[in-house]
Amino acid sequence: MKVDMVFEGGGVLGICFVGALASLKQNGYEFERCAGASAGAIVAALVVAGYSVEELYDIIGNTNFSIFKKNQRYWKIPIPRALEFLGKNGLYSGENIENWIKPLLEAKGVTKFKHVMKNGNSKLRIITSDVTKGDMLVLPEDLKKYGIDPGEFDIATAVRMSASIPFYFTPYILDYKEGKSCIVDGGLLSNFPIWIFDVEGLPRWPTIGLRLEKIRPKQKSTRCGLFKFTKEVVSAPIDVNGERFIRDKDLVRTITIQYQGLSATDFDIVHKYKEVLFKLGYKYTETFLKRWDFERYVSTLKNDKKV
């Protein structure tokens, strides 16, 4: 069965999604269209580009995620990190994300949105946030607002935009005829765009969402130093218990993967937990599929429309 996939943002925790995809594939699902924000945009782009679950697993195993924290210095002499942050609005260069995914997309011959378009419609949708205009963007469609040809835009750049966690990675500055906009993590305005492939009437095949839910300890420390505060601010859109904001009809088509311990920006230590995260995604998806019934879901939609 065909299925459209929507991936929530989650930083390094997006490794869980590969385990989920493995389960779906083994159960006979074929991925048609994909959308996502932040780390979800990375997974979505690689799936639409044609990477198999096995290839995605190899990419995880061969990636040193600490490369995302590589600094691009603009000065020849060392300067305090705080001054770099103030000068660039981020601790680490957002180009690290783009430079990592670009050769992966090139290897599949999928570099621009036109390569994943059919009749002008893109099989890939990426959520970003224009903080200059205070607007959520769905790429590639919304590039028309800036006078930019959606088909000619680089997917790697769009992914970099969506995955630029505020304060952590430098934002992307989008130049267009009427000015400039500061573009950051799509999760800032819509971390889980489960609605993105919805249509009028009944769907031909399901849309399944993948989201993350942090298992929180009963008591949380009240100490809040500068470092801890900054880390929690950038993780908040990812770690928040978003289930309160998801409609009932969306919850039934959402695979919620629970995790604990790690944070979205634990790039330095995630290599120790790659296998654990993969297995979590697989386990929760297997549980979901035991109760999921697309025909019953469609029947529910029919009844809703009659009311």
- C-alpha distances out from residue 87 to 15, 79, 144, 220, 283, Å: 32, 11, 30, 33, 44
Residue 299 annotated among the catalytic residues of the structure = no
- C-alpha distances out from residue 119 to 2, 11, 116, 284, Å: 19, 32, 10, 36
User: Exposure string (b/e) for 150-174, b if CB count within 10 Å is 16 or more?
Assistant: beebebbbbbbbbbbbbbbbbbbeb
Residue 175 annotated among the catalytic residues of the structure = no
- C-alpha distances out from residue 152 to 84, 108, 110, 117, 307, Å: 33, 17, 12, 11, 44
Catalytic residue among 4, 130, 185, 239: 185
In the structure encoding, which two tokens stand for residue 68, read together? 């995302």
Strands (E), 119-160: 121-122, 124-130, 135-139
Question: CA 13 to CA 237: how far, in whole Å?
Answer: 13
Please work out, in degrees rounded to the nearest 5, the angle formed at the alpha carbon of residue 237 by the alpha carbons of 234 and 241: 135
Residues contacting residue 186 through CB under 8 Å, at least 6 positions apart = 9, 36, 37, 38, 41, 126, 127, 128, 129, 136, 137, 161, 162, 193
Least Cα distance to 1 among 166, 204, 278, 177 occurs for 204
Catalytic residue among 4, 23, 38, 162: 38
Q: By the 8 A CB rule, do 136 and 186 touch?
A: yes
Distance of CA 52 to the CA centre of its chain: 18
Q: By the 8 A CB rule, do 90 and 133 touch?
A: no
Q: Which residues are part of the catalytic machinery? A: 38, 185
